[in-house]
Amino acid sequence: MNRTLRVVIVAVTVVVAIVLVNLVPAAESPSTRAKADDLSFYQTSGATTPYPLTSEKEVRNVILCIGDGMSSGQIALASAKVGAKLHIERMPVTGLVQTRSANSRVTDSAAAATALATGVKTKNGMIGTAPNGQAYRSILELAKAAGMATGLVATSTITHATPASFGAHVRSRSSENAIAEQLLANRVNVLLGGGRKFFLPRSDRDSARKDNRDLIAEARQAGYMYVTSEQELRSTQHPYVLGLFQLGALTTEPPEPSLSTLAHEAIRLLRQAGQTAPTSNSGFFLMIEGSQIDSACHEHNARRAIRQTLLFDQAVQAVIDFALQDGHTLVIVTADHETGGLSLSRADEKNPDTQVRWSTKGHTGSPVPIGALGPGAAIFAGTQDNTDIPSKTAQLLNIRPFPQLAQ
Amino acid sequence: MSARETIVRVDATYDLRVRVGDPVHRGDRISDAPAQHAFAPVSGVVKSIQFDPQNHEFVIAILPTA
């Protein structure tokens, strides 16, 4: 092959690559794009002032809201799209969170959520354990041991890395069969999300299990109410609820309950469970994850990133509405890591695809924001490590020692 | 997926070193992931890259050169 021919081949390859890369957004189906553009679910308040601080000291309930892959770029993009401040942006106490894991400047969700749950740094991919595999009790497990009701809500499978780190201990995030078993064995009061396939026996055609354990039947026998629709969720009064609304991750489209509805219903159920607990006023611990901001940013899909951020913000609004009314609820809003290296560039506000720049297909090691509201919120101000968040929460709940090895 | 394609799965935590249309040689590093699967197993052209949210991986299809 002569030199001229080689140059031509390389040039053609480069052109084809550029064309293909630029075709990626156009490869989205029209219906998918229309859904991503439909933001009618989101109502802005028009308010710009921070939510009020409180002088109340007693923390009875803790609600930790995690936007997977969400940092200031994702928030700013969504805020620009709706032309108003998000609820996340109105938290009265704010700071930054450093996110590195035990073995990498760039964390994954498993190591980050393990830090947020147990106060211990671990290697990427590990769930609820130190790098040597030793399990540490999560803030959720310790809250439960202290008599509080507990809940996990996610738009991913409920066995995915973030919710898993609060109620399971495995060496690999891919061990979702074992995670499903441990979430139930841990008697988490409210489990709402996707991932039914990890609870079905292998004999079921939709199963992703490697054995024939029917975890839904086991959950029922253990006293859980099992629900699969918004109507069933809204009508249950049970202190233990397993809500699995899809085989895999949620679609985040109707007729599924929205993340905001899941948050609202989880709070209702946990309040009821707390009131019927052996100790009165025992309160609850709830983790809510907007799981799919991360996916949108891995795909460099700005429209979907906006929609997922607004769905998460809508859930945060439901949490704040409850907390302000309750007066004894600490709300923490943060992220596990940033995804995509998203930054705002050209100011074409009608077209988010041209408004953003992405610096990576993966995660970044940039710090993520934290906002807090309610009693004890002030100690989350400033820059902190992700392991500090459960440590400070444990301090406010009088849980000692923390971190704590599992027996 | 073509029967001729070679599929490589890499952890999506880390950035990719290839884009669709890129030529790759066997042994080239295609991801910043610290794992043995971060290298191209065959020579060819990157035909597609998909994100698999359930496994949090990029699924890279490489069309081998003849």
| Confidence at residue A279, expressed as pLDDT on a 0 to 100 scale | 57
- For residue A92, the tally of other CB atoms under 10 A from its CB is 17
* B4-59 pLDDT per residue, tens: 899 999 999 999 999 999 999 999 999 999 877 799 999 999 999 999 999 999 99
Is the CB of residue B56 less than 8 Å from the CB of residue B34? no
Domain map (residue ranges) of chain A: 45-396
3-state secondary structure of A25: helix
Domain contains B1: no
| Confidence at residue A214, expressed as pLDDT on a 0 to 100 scale | 98
Residue with the two structure tokens 């890499």: B10
Tell me which amino acid residue A47 is: A
Q: Is A109 tagged catalytic?
A: yes
Rg of chain A in Å (alpha carbons): 22
For residues A76 and A93, give the distance between their C-alpha atoms in angstroms, rounded to a whole number. 18
For residues A213 and A190, give the distance between their C-alpha atoms in angstroms, rounded to a whole number. 21
Query: Phi then psi for A377, rounded to 5 degrees?
Result: -60, -30
Give percent above pLDDT 70 in chain A: 87
For residues A215 and A228, give the distance between their C-alpha atoms in angstroms, rounded to a whole number. 15
Domain of B25, CATH number, reads 2.40.50
Find the CB nearest A363 among B13, B22, B51: B13
- E strands along chain B, which residues? 6-11, 23-24, 44-52, 57-64
Stretch A82-92: mean pLDDT:
96
Is the CB of residue A339 less than 8 Å from the CB of residue A294? yes
Domain contains B14: yes
Stretch A254-274: mean pLDDT:
96
Query: Phi then psi for A279, rounded to 5 degrees?
Result: -100, 130
Domain count, chain B: 1
Which residues of B make CB contacts under 8 Å with A? 11-16, 19-23, 32, 34, 45, 49, 51, 53-56, 58
Helices (H) and strands (E) in chain A — how many of each? 14, 14
List the structure tokens of A49: 């002032």
pLDDT band at A26 (very low <50, low <70, confident <90, very high): very low
Please give the model's pTM, rounded to 2 decimal places: 0.91
| Confidence at residue B34, expressed as pLDDT on a 0 to 100 scale | 87
Put simply, whether A13 touches B (Cβ < 8 Å) is yes
Q: What is the ipTM of this complex?
A: 0.94
CATH of A45-396, picked from 1.10.3720.10, 1.20.1250.20, 1.20.81.30, 3.40.720.10, is 3.40.720.10
For residues A103 and A157, give the distance between their C-alpha atoms in angstroms, rounded to a whole number. 26
By C-alpha distance, the chain B residue nearest A107 is: B13
What's the gap in Å between the CA of B44 and the closest CA on chain A?
Answer: 12
Asked if the Cβ–Cβ distance from A104 to B21 is below 8 Å, we say no
pLDDT band at A18 (very low <50, low <70, confident <90, very high): very low
DSSP state of A90: G
